[in-house]
A and B are shown apart, each in its own frame.
Chain A
Amino acid sequence: MEIGQAFTVSALGSQFLVGLSRAMILFIVSAGMSFVLGVLRVPNVAHGSLYMIGAFAAFSISNLLGGGTAGFWLALILAPLVVALVSLIAERSLFCHLYEREHLMLLLFTFALMLILGDLVKMVWGADYRSIMAPELLQGSVNIFDSPFPRYNLFLLIIGPLVGIGLWLFSNKTKVGKIARAAAVDREMVGAIGINVSWVFAFAFVLGCFLAGLGGALVSPTISVTIGMDHDIIIEAFLIVTIGGLGNMWGALVGSLIFGLTQAFGILFWPQFAIVFPYIAVVIVLTWKPRGMLKSVW
């Protein structure tokens, strides 16, 4: 059993940055999930499937456009929109009839949806491992803290806060955002004052799923795009949403940071057992604050 190595400032610094960049992806995906959970009260297990569809759509779009730099950027924009479209269809045809059901029913329903979407992805794209190339600009790495830091992760460090700011602006500065926030706190009241809650819900659902698709598209150049991605992310996203505070988007950020950073530092301190560190963090947080770090809307 070898515990750790020389904990130099540079080693700590580089692990911090790497962990932070991973946290950005987790934040984008779990913020979407948290948003849906907060506004619609739907624990969407199929969120991971939408993340997977985002990655596959990014693969297809970038391939269709020749796989070059332009293809990548367009894929990054179009893939989440494809996912948003899929989720709009799902919301209008299925979800909108189910909001009044109890949580267990919704959980089972979204679980079934996850299985169906998983099989659909297999039928459309097959079981092969796919790979997308990042544009030239984002390939390779730069030296930070005396250690190679992939340019793509640097890019994620920029995108993450941008998405965060965008979400903040949306929920605090736009009317729809404010209504959605209000609906998260008290949806009967929102309905009572004459707002068409049905469309607010549809919008919130599509936005949440758009974020899942964006997360999938963003992660696609760093991993193999293949079936099974949905299961990887969904457990992490659920834990993050739980420790952050159910339905609280900033809670998703806090949760993602806890998750990403404990993992990165865990790898440095005790690499053989690095897998368990984020989960230990979850246990500690939930023991200390059973309702999550920030205010849960439930």
Chain B
Amino acid sequence: MKKGYIWGIIVVLVVIAAVVVYFATRPPTIARPIKVGIIDCYSGPAAVYGKDALNGFKLALEEINKEGVLGNKIEFTTRDTKFKVDIALNMAKELVMRENVDVLVGTINSGAALAVSDAVAKKEKVPFMVWISKSERITGEKGHRYVFSTGENTAMAGKAGGVALSKKPYVKYWIGGDDYSYGHDIANAAWRNLKALKPDVEVIGKSWWKPGEPDLVPYITAILGAKPDAVIFCTGGRSMTNIMKAVKATGMAEKVPIWIHSATDHAVLKPLGAEAPEGVLGTMDYHFYYPDTAANREFVKKFEAAYGNPPGFPAFHGYITAHFIAEAFKKAGALDREKFIDALEGLKIASPAGEIEMRACDHQVVLPMYLGVTKKSPKYGFVIATDIVTLAGDEVLPTCEEIAEARKKK
């Protein structure tokens, strides 16, 4: 009888131990899905980019939610900012206050991104992942604990241009561009870096036109008349198509080397078709045809199957944003905003462009830049980037010290 009593205790103890071990080693789970609130532009000219990013994000979520995050999944809600700063602010507040989202994501408008970063993310202590806007101030001088960027920015683009051009023999430069923040930011960043790497370069003239200026031919004829060694154009959006058309019509690229950030972007080149000029130097952080790796081919194949067209750079940013969120929550092990941020700092994930890192010091993703030359591709039937040179992420990012300096200055 006594022996049976002891056996009974042993069995109970073993069961208790087994239960304890099970709960102690079992991966942590969360009680409710992770909620992501997306504010971006889904109407107006910028909607093309907003939708592309969202598609990339959705594609990633499908993969992520198949195996789940912390025993649950990631859900998202979107709000249309209509490219307006005030609407973006209201929507972001609404998502945080009423929808109680765990992470905010957005937007293409740099002004809106900066405003939300300051007035919502920082104030309400909600992590905000910026995925398309390119202002270097987001993770630069205006950066803080609650804002992250999963895209390239003007500092990286400018430095990529500066590094690329410093290896060329050109001395006399002409700078032209859209007379707004993006144009000037790119120009300043490119020139600062070029001048640092090659002190003998000089600017012989500058032209600034209004964004979307329909007739750029007079600018080009005036620039050609000044006979610079090379030209830096800093344009975006509508002006991008306009400048490419004007470059083609005047045959400018055959007369003088030109660098335009994002000139090699598929979204710019595709609609131009045969009208895209060849021989223009461009920089870009993603191409669906480059890098030609298994991971990228797989991503492009899935994206095309789902949406009928190849992913643009916003889709790539959307895709990695989702994976960063998932991996960071897995690492954090809890549905906690502060733990999420700690986990995201310095996090490395696999991406279609290889392994990428979320830099801890400034919350800026370290992405390589691809320098290429526009050339007609017999395979695709339109102009693509060729002779691509990869500039490593560390090479084109401002250093952590420079970021600290910029933030102190503010």
With A267-B218, A275-B209 already in contact, the answer to whether A227 and B249 are too (CB < 8 A) is no
A131–B203 Cα distance when bound, in Å, is: 33
List B residues 267-302 near A (Cβ within 8 Å): 267, 271-275
* B252 at interface by CB-CB < 8 Å: yes
* A179 at interface by CB-CB < 8 Å: no
A272–B356 Cα distance when bound, in Å, is: 39
Q: Is the beta-carbon distance between B245 and A224 smaller than 8 angstroms?
A: yes
With A127-B43, A131-B275, A274-B219 already in contact, the answer to whether A148 and B208 are too (CB < 8 A) is no
CB neighbours of A152 from chain B (8 A): 249
Q: Contact flags (1/0) for B222-263 with A, using CB distance below 8 Å?
A: 111110000000000010111001101111100100000000
* A219 at interface by CB-CB < 8 Å: yes
* A140 at interface by CB-CB < 8 Å: yes
Q: Is the beta-carbon distance between B251 and A141 smaller than 8 angstroms?
A: yes
Partner-binding segment picked from A15-23, A34-42, A159-167, A191-199: A15-23
* A222 at interface by CB-CB < 8 Å: yes
A2–B228 Cα distance when bound, in Å, is: 14
A127–B271 Cα distance when bound, in Å, is: 13
A129–B251 Cα distance when bound, in Å, is: 22
- Min CB–CB distance B278 → chain A (angstroms): 13
Which of A15, A129, A131 is within 8 Å of B218, CB to CB?
A15
Q: Is the beta-carbon distance between B214 and A229 smaller than 8 angstroms?
A: yes
Q: Is the beta-carbon distance between A274 and B208 smaller than 8 angstroms?
A: yes
With A267-B218, A267-B222 already in contact, the answer to whether A224 and B242 are too (CB < 8 A) is yes
A150–B218 Cα distance when bound, in Å, is: 11
Q: Is the beta-carbon distance between A2 and B204 smaller than 8 angstroms?
A: yes
With A141-B251, A224-B241 already in contact, the answer to whether A5 and B225 are too (CB < 8 A) is yes
CB neighbours of A151 from chain B (8 A): 249
With A130-B271, A275-B209 already in contact, the answer to whether A18 and B217 are too (CB < 8 A) is yes
- Min CB–CB distance A122 → chain B (angstroms): 7
Q: Is the beta-carbon distance between A226 and B45 smaller than 8 angstroms?
A: yes
CB neighbours of A267 from chain B (8 A): 207, 218-219, 222
Which of A10, A227, A274 is within 8 Å of B209, CB to CB?
A274
* A8 at interface by CB-CB < 8 Å: yes
* A44 at interface by CB-CB < 8 Å: no
- Min CB–CB distance B99 → chain A (angstroms): 26
Interface size on B, as a range, is: 35 or more
Q: Is the beta-carbon distance between A131 and B272 smaller than 8 angstroms?
A: yes
Q: Contact flags (1/0) for A265-279 with B, using CB distance below 8 Å?
A: 001100111110000
CB neighbours of A263 from chain B (8 A): 218
A148–B256 Cα distance when bound, in Å, is: 12
Dominant secondary structure at the B interface: helix
Which chain B residue shows the least CB distance to A5? B226
CB neighbours of B255 from chain A (8 A): 148
* B84 at interface by CB-CB < 8 Å: no
Tell which of B48, B204, B215 has the most Cβ of chain A within 10 Å. Answer: B215
With A15-B222, A150-B249, A227-B44 already in contact, the answer to whether A271 and B273 are too (CB < 8 A) is no
Interface size on A, as a range, is: 35 or more
* A11 at interface by CB-CB < 8 Å: yes
* B212 at interface by CB-CB < 8 Å: yes
- Min CB–CB distance A83 → chain B (angstroms): 18
Which of B45, B48, B252 is within 8 Å of A148, CB to CB?
B252
Q: Contact flags (1/0) for B331-370 with A, using CB distance below 8 Å?
A: 0000000000000000000000000000000000000000
Tell which of B207, B212, B218 has the most Cβ of chain A within 10 Å. Answer: B218
Q: Is the beta-carbon distance between B207 and A271 smaller than 8 angstroms?
A: yes
- Min CB–CB distance A141 → chain B (angstroms): 5
With A2-B206, A228-B45 already in contact, the answer to whether A153 and B217 are too (CB < 8 A) is yes
With A2-B206, A5-B205, A272-B208 already in contact, the answer to whether A133 and B219 are too (CB < 8 A) is no
A8–B225 Cα distance when bound, in Å, is: 9
* A232 at interface by CB-CB < 8 Å: yes
Which chain A residue shows the least CB distance to B174? A271
List A residues 46-86 near B (Cβ within 8 Å): none
CB neighbours of B240 from chain A (8 A): 224
A264–B225 Cα distance when bound, in Å, is: 13
With A129-B271, A222-B245 already in contact, the answer to whether A272 and B206 are too (CB < 8 A) is yes
* A14 at interface by CB-CB < 8 Å: yes
Which chain B residue shows the least CB distance to A119? B43
Q: Contact flags (1/0) for A195-239 with B, using CB distance below 8 Å?
A: 000000000000000000000000101111011110011000000
* A139 at interface by CB-CB < 8 Å: yes
Identify the B interface with A (CB < 8 A). 43-48, 176, 179, 203-210, 212, 214-215, 217-219, 221-226, 238, 240-242, 245-246, 248-252, 255, 267, 271-275
A and B contact pairs by CB, cutoff 8 A, 20 listed = A2-B204, A5-B222, A15-B221, A122-B44, A127-B44, A139-B249, A140-B251, A141-B251, A147-B221, A149-B250, A150-B217, A150-B246, A153-B249, A221-B245, A222-B214, A223-B242, A228-B212, A232-B212, A233-B214, A271-B208
Identify the A interface with B (CB < 8 A). 2, 5-6, 8, 10-11, 14-15, 18-19, 21-22, 25, 122, 127-131, 133, 139-141, 147-153, 219, 221-224, 226-229, 232-233, 263-264, 267-268, 271-275
| Interface contacts beyond A2-B203, A5-B205: sample of 16 additional A-B pairs, CB < 8 Å, sorted by A | A11-B222, A128-B48, A129-B241, A129-B267, A131-B273, A141-B250, A147-B221, A148-B224, A148-B251, A150-B246, A223-B214, A223-B242, A232-B214, A268-B218, A271-B206, A275-B209
